[in-house]
Amino acid sequence: MERVAGGLRCALVLTLCVTALAGCTGGSLSGHTQSCSSSGGLLQERTVSCEGTAESLGGRMGIEFGDEDDLSGEYRLEASISVRSGSAEVYGGDEDIPLGNVSAGEPLTVSETVELSRSDPVVFTLDAGEGERVDGLTYSGVITRR
C-alpha cells in the first residue's frame, strides 16, 4: 500500500511540475497563417511586409515577420491589428514598448520605431492576459530599416 501511495504522490508532483512549466511558455496561437514579402538589401532600404490571421491567441505571444534570420536593429513599424473578440495589450519589438490596446470593434493602428534583435526577432507582442484569449486576430504591417 505504501508503494502505491508513494507512486501516486510522485505522479501528482510530476503533473504539477509539468503544469507549472507549461504555464511559463507565455501563450498559444492556433490556426495561424502568415504571408510575407521582403525587398531591399545591401544597397537599398530593407522592407518586410506581412499579413496574417489566427483563430485564437491565448496569453502572451510574439509575432515575427516571416522567417527572416537577419532582422536586427531599428525598424519603423506601420501596422493594423484587429480581433473579433477579447482584448489584448500590444507591445513593440523585443523591448516591451507599449503600443496600445486592441479589442473587438476597436482595431489598433501602429506607427512606431521598434528594436529587433537576431536572438528574438519579434516585431510585436500581444498580451491577452494570463488565462485569457482573443479570437479572430487579423494583422497587416510593414517594417522598414531605419
pLDDT tens by residue, 27-67: 999 999 999 998 887 667 788 999 999 999 999 999 988 76
pLDDT digits (tens, 9 = 90+) for 116-131: 887 777 899 999 999 9
The pLDDT, as a whole number, for residue 5 is 52
pLDDT of the residue at 66: 74
Q: How far apart are the two ends of the chain, measured CA to CA in Å?
A: 68
Which helix (H) or strand (E) covers residue 79, if one does? Answer: strand 73-82
Distance CA 87, CA 85 (A): 7
Cell output for 17 = 511540475
Q: What is the mean pLDDT of the chain?
A: 82
Question: Residue 91's beta-bridge partner residues?
Answer: 98, 125
**What's the pTM value of the predicted model, to 2 decimals?**
0.77
**pLDDT at residue 137 in the model:** 98
Tell me: pLDDT of 18 over 90: no
Please give the grid coordinates belonging to residue 70. Answer: 537577419
Tens digit of each residue's pLDDT (9 = 90 or more) over 62-118: 998 876 667 778 889 999 999 999 999 999 976 678 999 999 999 999 999 988 887
Which domains, from first to last, does the chain contain? 27-145 (2.60.120)
Contacts for 18 with CB less than 8 Å, ≥ 6 apart: none
> Could you give the CA distance from residue 94 to residue 97 in angstroms, rounded to a whole number?
8
Of residues 70, 60, 40, 68, the one with CA closest to residue 134: 60
Length of the chain: 146
C-alpha dihedral sign at 14, 17, 19, 25: negative
